[in-house]
Amino acid sequence: MSDENRKPAATIRDVARVAQVSMTTVSHALSAKRPVSPETAERIQAAIEHLGYVPSSAARSLHAGKSLMLGLVVPDVSDPFFGRLAASVERAADEADYGVVLGSSSGASTREARYFNLLRSRSIDGLIYVAGAPRYDDRLSRLARRHPIVLADEWVEGLDGIPLAAADHEQGGRLAAEHLAALGHRDVAVITGPRGLRSADERVAGFRSVFPDARVVDGDFTEEVAYHRTAKLLGRGGAPTAIFASNDLSAFGVLDAARDHGLVVPRDLSVVGFDDVPLAQRVSPPLTTVRQPIDEIGRLATATLFEVIAGRDPGELERCPVELVVRESTAPSARTD
């Protein structure tokens, strides 16, 4: 559509003229800050619809000092996990008449700087920050002192005063362990996530609170490393009867390694994952895993951000309860000890 089709947008003054009232009355009809007679209100309404009038958001936020926009920075929107998180944040924001400005940091700090400036320029009233790694970020911590920020999903070093909305990873590890214990498993192993990643450490800690003697295998959340470490573990004598992988990707590596060693899951080896990615129910056998309440995390993060924006201190947030999804990769231990 070329320029000649674009009329200058209608202003409140245009509405006033058409409705034969003053700008003051139009404004008050919209905000209900002063009573307006039904007849007048109707005339104004008609004028608004006739002109297709919508108040200028720029003028509004200039006056009100807020933009009705939230920022959401995730490592990568194309990852289904963050996609679902974005969807739930957007839904929660929408209910409060807020919009969401999306940003993929993908680790690029120049990109992140842009979103921080959105906050400073009051383009957004608050920020939900989902860190890709728990590295300490000086700018983020300075920013958080002056602006409403909440963390979601992953903790960031040095930002302890800032609310964190996340799943109860420790409970997840515990649920996985209790499930295996109930199936009679005694000799179990756990594959960790990257060193220092808080969520990963919590999962392992939860698991070990039930199985203090579990064998600990270093992983990094990738399928490849999980595969090789598992292969090595199974190669030695006295293989465990169950393995808890601290994310689904690693569990897939375990599944592949088990198959390549001639083991049948779950007959010879039980496997539990974490995350419940879409793939989990499609691999064979379908993976028993721990599901994170993504929607709940997004909702909590958004609600908390509104609290912070309103100037209230939400305090330390409770972790969102996770859920064990039992599928077909776990079975009673065959070993009789």
Contact set with a second copy (CB under 8 A): 1-3, 5-7, 9, 52, 54-62, 67, 69, 72, 76-80, 82-84, 86-87, 90-91, 94, 99-104, 111, 114, 117-118, 120-123, 144-148, 161-162, 278-279, 282-284, 308, 311-313
Cis peptide before 80 (omega within 30 of 0): no
* Residue 68 Cβ vs a second copy, minimum distance, rounded to whole Å: 8
Among 17, 55, 157, 198, binds DNA (CB under 7 A): 55
Q: Answer with the entry of DNA, a second copy, none that 336 interacts with (C-beta below 5 to 8 A by kind).
A: none
Please work out the total of residues on this chain that contact DNA, with binding judged by CB under 7 A: 32
Binding to DNA in span 11-40, by CB under 7 A: 11-13, 20-25, 27-28, 30-31, 33-37, 39-40
Binding partner at 144 among DNA, a second copy, none, C-beta below 5 to 8 Å by kind:
a second copy
Compare residues 5 and 336 and give the one whose CB is closer to a second copy: 5
Angle between helices 23-31 and 12-19 (to 10 degrees): 100
Does 311 engage in binding with DNA (CB under 7 A)? no
Single-letter code of the amino acid located at 47? A
Nearer to DNA among residue 47 and residue 280 (C-beta): 47
Distance CA 52, CA 57 (A): 15
Rank residues 68 and 181 by Cβ distance to DNA and give the closer one: 68
Q: Does 60 bind DNA (CB under 7 A)?
A: yes
The smaller minimum CB distance to DNA, of residues 65 and 212, is found at 65
Direct distance between the N- and C-terminal alpha carbons of the chain, in angstroms, rounded to an integer: 77
Give the C-alpha separation, 28 to 223, whole Å.
61
Max CA pair span of the chain: 90
Q: Is 45 in the site for DNA (CB under 7 A)?
A: no
Count the neighbouring beta carbons within 10 Å of the beta carbon of residue 201. Answer: 20
Q: Where does this chain touch DNA (CB under 7 A) — which range of 5-13, 109-117, 205-213, 277-285? A: 5-13
Q: How many helices (H) and strands (E) does the chain have?
A: 12, 11
Q: Should residue 50 be labelled a site residue for DNA when binding is judged by CB under 7 A?
A: no
State residue 11 phi and psi, 5-degree precision: -110, 175
Report how far residue 259's alpha carbon sits from residue 248's, in angstroms, rounded to the nearest whole number.
16
Given DNA, a second copy, none, residue 75, with its beta carbon under 5 to 8 Å by kind, binds none
Q: How far is CA 311 from the centre of its chain?
A: 23
CA geometry: angle 156, 161, 165, nearest 5 deg: 60
CB of 102 to a second copy, least distance (A): 4
User: Taking CB under 7 A as the rule, does residue 212 contact DNA?
Assistant: no
- Shortest Å, Cβ 8 to a second copy: 9
Instruction: Give strand pairing partners of 63.
Output: none
| Contact indicator for 242, 333 with CB cutoff of 8 Å | yes
Residue 178 CB neighbour total at 10 angstroms: 16
How many Å is the Cα radius of gyration of the chain?
27
Q: What is the token pair recorded at 41? A: 């209100």
Among 1, 6, 8, 337, binds DNA (CB under 7 A): 8
Site for DNA, rule CB under 7 A: 8-9, 11-13, 20-25, 27-28, 30-31, 33-37, 39-40, 53, 55-56, 58-60, 62-65
